[in-house]
Amino acid sequence: MAFPYKKILLIGATSGIGRALGASLIQHGRFVIAVGRRQENLDRFVQEHGTENAAGIQFDINKLNEIPQFVKSVTSSHPDLDCVFVNSGMQRRSVFTEPESISIDEIQAEMTVNYISYVSLTKEFLPFFMAKENSLTSFIFTSSNLALVPILRCSNYCASKAALHQWVLCLREQLRDTNIRVVEIFPPIVQTELHDEKNQPDMAHMRGRAFGIPVDQFTTEAMKKLLAGDDQIPVGLSTIAFDSWEQQRQQAFHRVVEMMRKGEF
């Protein structure tokens, strides 16, 4: 079975592509534990899909010091958990020709949400998954096409996603002889609240939430590849970079990995 996971913890499930992917996973027979900051959205998700298909946990991954206890609580309540899907993200404008507009607090928050929280969550869940040595388990991470090709208006967001992508490549190799698979999804620009004027006022003239491809289109393409068992899932425009120079770069990465394993480096 290409996608054997039955119970999925989906972090960043209260809106946008996380909510859409969560709904699709349930439609394909999976149980989804939705995690997010907004309790009202979690309640609505569970009400829509029923307690036999979904559960909700309120948690803010910005609070790094609370992640160990969060993981302990989740794994105690759901010992049959076999997939952790980290989808949370934030994006803010960061144009350094206008240094007065740069908030270092926002720079740090963006790195925390988009990268450091992913690393922290993985570190804490790894012993739980490793103990399931006779069962397949998986981490799924939402990256971005901007991890491959940055743009100017959100330079720090691009850097945070590039950091995530590099780390995921290494994590997958480090875990390749274990029972744990590592999957990365590369969305293009998708029509979600990530681009709302309240989050990014400079996006107003770019149509805000109407900017990008529809969520349903993204979900259909991403789910097709996810259920097929792909471990790298570029969607839409992301496929242009992924299918060309990113493949060459990863080939170089794997050559270096093999050289180091053979002691030739």
Residue 157's nearest CA partner among 91, 109, 104 is 91
CA distance 228 to 22: 17
Classify 59 as helix, strand or coil: coil
> What span, in angstroms and rounded, lies between the C-alpha atoms of 156 and 149?
13
Q: Average pLDDT, stretch 208-225? A: 84
pLDDT > 70 fraction of the chain, expressed in percent and rounded: 92
CA 38 to chain centre: 18
Residue 199 has pLDDT above 80, yes or no: no
Which ranges constitute the DSSP H helices of 175-233? 215-228
Percentages helix, strand, coil for the chain (3-state, rounded to 5) are: 50, 15, 30
Confidence of residue 206 (pLDDT cuts 50, 70, 90): low
Are 81 and 7 contacting, i.e. CB atoms less than 8 angstroms apart?
A: yes
Give the pLDDT of residue 207: 52
pLDDT in tens, 75-120: 999 999 999 999 999 999 999 999 999 999 999 999 999 999 999 9
Q: Which residues contact 214 (CB under 8 A, 6 or more apart)?
A: 190, 191
Token pair recorded at residue 187? 């969305």
Other CB atoms closer than 10 Å to residue 204's CB: what's the count?
11
Give me the chain's average pLDDT, please.
Answer: 92
Question: Token pair for residue 105?
Answer: 């607090």
pLDDT at site 211: 62
Residue 164 to residue 10: CA distance in whole angstroms: 17
pLDDT band (50, 70, 90) for residue 197: low
Task: Answer whether residue 201 shows pLDDT above 90.
Answer: no
Tokens (6 digits) for 211: 């900017």
Other Cβ atoms closer than 10 A to 81: 21
Report residue 26 as tokens: 């349930």
**Mean pLDDT (whole number) for 161-180:** 97
User: What's the average model confidence in pLDDT over 60-78?
Assistant: 97
pLDDT at 251: 95
User: Helices 155-174 and 117-130 sit at what angle, rounded to 10 degrees?
Assistant: 20
Residue 212, number of CB atoms within 10 A of its CB: 20
Domains and CATH numbers, the chain: 7-262 (3.40.50.720)
Task: For residue 90, give both structure tokens.
Answer: 């934030």
The answer to whether residues 33 and 55 touch, using CB atoms and an 8 Å cutoff, is yes
What residue spans of the chain are helical by DSSP H? 16-27, 39-49, 67-77, 104-111, 117-130, 155-174, 215-228, 238-243, 245-261
What is the pLDDT averaged over residues 38-62?
95
φ, ψ for residue 83 (rounded to 5)? -150, 130
